[in-house]
Amino acid sequence: MVALYNKKAEHLLYAALMFGGMALSFGKWIVFSKVLLPGDFGMYSAVMSSVAVGAYVGAAGLNEYLIQRGSSSHGQGQMVEIYKLRDHSMSVGLLMTGMLLVPLIAVSYLMNWWGLGWANFGVLCALLVSTVVFGMVDASLRAAQRALAFAGMVFFRAVMLLSTGYVLAQWGDFSGILLAELASSGAAIAMALWVWGPGPRLKGFVFDPAIIFALLNDSFSFLKLQLLRYLSLMLDKWLVAWFLGALALGQYSFLLITFLAFTAFAGVYNAVIIPRLISAFSRKNDPEGLANITRMQAYFFLIGSLIIGPFYLLALNKVIYRYFSEYLFANHVIALSFIYLGSAFHVSSQFFDSLFYALRKQSDLAMLAALSLLLFGFYYLAAGNILTPSVLWFSFAFFISKFSCFLMTLFRVSQINIPSTNIS
């Protein structure tokens, strides 16, 4: 009876931490959109998208490889292997970040690409490194299915970012929020490694060429996949800024808060569900069962999103008119509807990640991401060159690109001969 009570209490605590972290991560965009001017908020959104792309280049796809291989190790009871892989991956990620990304940021500063001061670029370099490490630690906890540690890490970071970001924004505007991003990420990493443990072992941080090449070879397909996905998330913001300027970028980024809400939910859900599915179906070697449950998840989510959509849009429109009137523009309701629908199709597509990961078909996901990025760029360039450039047309380009990706994903899944494929 005591064990049952403890188990229920653990599940309740986990749910509170995860959904609390999700709400705060979503809430930061609302708070920061209010304390910053629309132009500054648009630049913050664009810079953080660029940091996300840089972090995936630095991580070299090892985050997703950690989840795949670590989840399989968990299913076989080899917990120590997960943390060995984490330490080796962190060393390779830091090496890649130092070699490829920090020099690129330095060049961008010298060329004045973003128009930011030297202090902000110093913070960006440190933030990039901390984001790479955070992703490795995050992936190792997910693979080890340490639900409370992972949830606590996410919640702590969200609380610290929201509180320090709000305070520092009053003092330093955009610069203050960058400092808050760095401080919250670093503090969450320290808590995860040295409070919950196990902490990193120095012998794991060896720059052995054999280990480096082996890890990069195994993770390269994941790198291609996530890099392509995150390039699309960065590309739209830079194209909007290019065609329409900082104010329109702020308005467009504000609409994307809806998209961030969707992805926050999917991140919370998939953070635990994908590793558990891979671990469970690896033990059973039941790829057909995994395919069926994946389809059910995607369809139920999409149908549910379409049902609640009108109520969400009505409520959000009232909130915007009352509290965020500086972000209003012509046809903003239609543009918001396009963003909502595109977000629903985007998350529905990513429910199939667990199936592709488990069947070791991440190269198929990379191919889908490449096709999606090509369509994405075509739609956005068409919105900027062929049509009269506006936030409305860029929002429509967002929707049609996500809908196209969903259809391509369904088609590719239908081509996989599931029953004859083994889960590795």
Per-residue model confidence (pLDDT) at position 85: 72
Query: Does residue 4 surpass a pLDDT of 50?
Result: no
Query: Does residue 114 surpass a pLDDT of 70?
Result: no
Per-residue model confidence (pLDDT) at position 306: 92
CB contact at 8 A, 198 and 146:
no
| Helix-, strand-, coil-residue percentages of the chain, each rounded to 5 | 90, 0, 10
Phi, then psi, of 385 in degrees rounded to 5: -105, -45
pLDDT confidence tier of residue 203, bands split at 50, 70 and 90: low
CA distances 5 to 2, 9, 17, 149, Å, are: 5, 6, 18, 19
Per-residue model confidence (pLDDT) at position 344: 93
Region 121-147 average pLDDT: 78
pLDDT tens by residue, 7-45: 667 667 777 787 787 778 778 888 888 888 887 888 788
Of 363 and 167, the structure prediction assigns the larger pLDDT to 167
Tokens of 404: 């196209």
Per-residue model confidence (pLDDT) at position 310: 93
Per-residue model confidence (pLDDT) at position 243: 81
Q: Which of 37-41, 95-99, 173-177, 339-343 has the lowest mean pLDDT?
A: 95-99
Each domain of the chain, given as residue ranges in start order, spans 2-420
Tokens of 40: 């500054």
Maximum Cα–Cα distance across the chain: 67
Query: pTM higher than 0.75, yes or no?
Result: no
187: exposed, middle or buried (C-beta count within 10 Å: 0-12, 13-18, 19+)?
A: middle
Query: Does residue 129 surpass a pLDDT of 60?
Result: yes
pLDDT confidence tier of residue 308, bands split at 50, 70 and 90: very high
- Average per-residue pLDDT in the chain? 75
Length of the chain: 424
Tokens of 32: 């920061």
Query: Does residue 183 surpass a pLDDT of 80?
Result: yes
CB contact at 8 A, 312 and 262:
no
Query: Does residue 135 surpass a pLDDT of 60?
Result: yes
Euclidean distance between CA atoms 326 and 321, whole angstroms: 9
CB contact at 8 A, 65 and 215:
yes
Across 85-89, 220-224, 285-289, the highest mean pLDDT is recorded for: 85-89
CB contact at 8 A, 127 and 185:
yes
Count of alpha carbons within 13 angstroms of residue 85, beta-carbon side: 29
pLDDT tens by residue, 359-368: 777 677 777 7
Query: Does residue 136 surpass a pLDDT of 50?
Result: yes
Phi, then psi, of 330 in degrees rounded to 5: -60, 135
